Chains A and B, each alone.
Chain A
Amino acid sequence: TQLLEQSPQFLSIQEGENLTVYCNSSSVFSSLQWYRQEPGEGPVLLVTVVTGGEVKKLKRLTFQFGDARKDSSLHITAAQPGDTGLYLCAGGSQGNLIFGKGTKLSVKP
């Protein structure tokens, strides 16, 4: 059974701080996606990474896929209250997605 472990589970920081959240597995994934989910809404895709070692940037968010395609990280620079939400990673497996349990981020003004 393929599993994705996300850490930390909860993170509460002040506006302007930097943070990194992690997504780890013992399995290799063909691709990895990051989603953000706000209360009362469905997840919204942020990025897809498909190549080992790939780095993608989305404004203040930097995503990295591990060389062995077993792990990924999301780094946020100068966090803002609008970054608050549940961050989910999802690994591609045989056409479907396996989701991690998420990191719940709270950014306080």
Chain B
Amino acid sequence: NAGVTQTPKFQVLKTGQSMTLQCAQDMNHNSMYWYRQDPGMGLRLIYYSASEGTTDKGEVPNGYNVSRLNKREFSLRLESAAPSQTSVYFCASSNLRASNQPQHFGDGTRLSIL
């Protein structure tokens, strides 16, 4: 009963390097989300995908790109990592994109940019 799986769990990058964070869900959910969580800032939405084939910007999209590969998978890419992107990244999914729908979260990717 995996739910939402994120890889990797930890990563250290140097400034300017690129990487892709992977997320997969096995609940047949239509909507998927990427958040970042920083101390004192709470969870902030980076990008979301309301359904397969669509993606939209959230509150803090600058410096990131996303791909909804299929219904199960939603990846987040940092093209040129910056120290300000050091954070814990969470992927989430929900059956529908609606305010009253529960979101199911993965356990996060802890990313440090040196």
Contacts and interface: CB of A to CB of B under 8 A. Distances in A.
B42 A93 contact: no
Given A90-B43, A95-B99, 15 more contacts: A29-B99, A31-B99, A33-B102, A42-B4, A42-B92, A45-B102, A45-B103, A48-B100, A92-B98, A92-B99, A94-B99, A95-B98, A96-B58, A100-B42, A101-B42
Contacts of A97: 45, 99, 103
Nearest to B92: A42
Contacts, number: 61
Contacts of B41: 101
B48 interface: yes
B100 A30 contact: yes
B106 interface: yes
Contacts of B104: 45
A50 B102 CA distance: 12
Contacts of A31: 99-100
Nearest to A29: B99
Give the contact-size bracket for chain B: 20 to 34
Interface in B21-56: 33, 35, 40-45, 48, 50
Interface of A: 29-31, 33, 40-45, 48, 50, 88, 90-97, 99-102
Contacts of A96: 33, 45, 48, 58, 97, 99
A41 to B, nearest CB: 5
Nearest to A47: B102
Contacts of A93: 99
Interface string B47-80: 0101000000010000000000000000000000
Contacts of B105: 42-44
B43 A92 contact: no
B58 A42 contact: no
Contact of A41 (B33, B42, B98, B107): B107
18 contacts: A30-B100, A31-B100, A33-B100, A40-B107, A42-B106, A43-B103, A48-B100, A48-B102, A88-B43, A92-B100, A95-B99, A96-B33, A96-B48, A97-B103, A101-B40, A101-B41, A101-B42, A102-B42
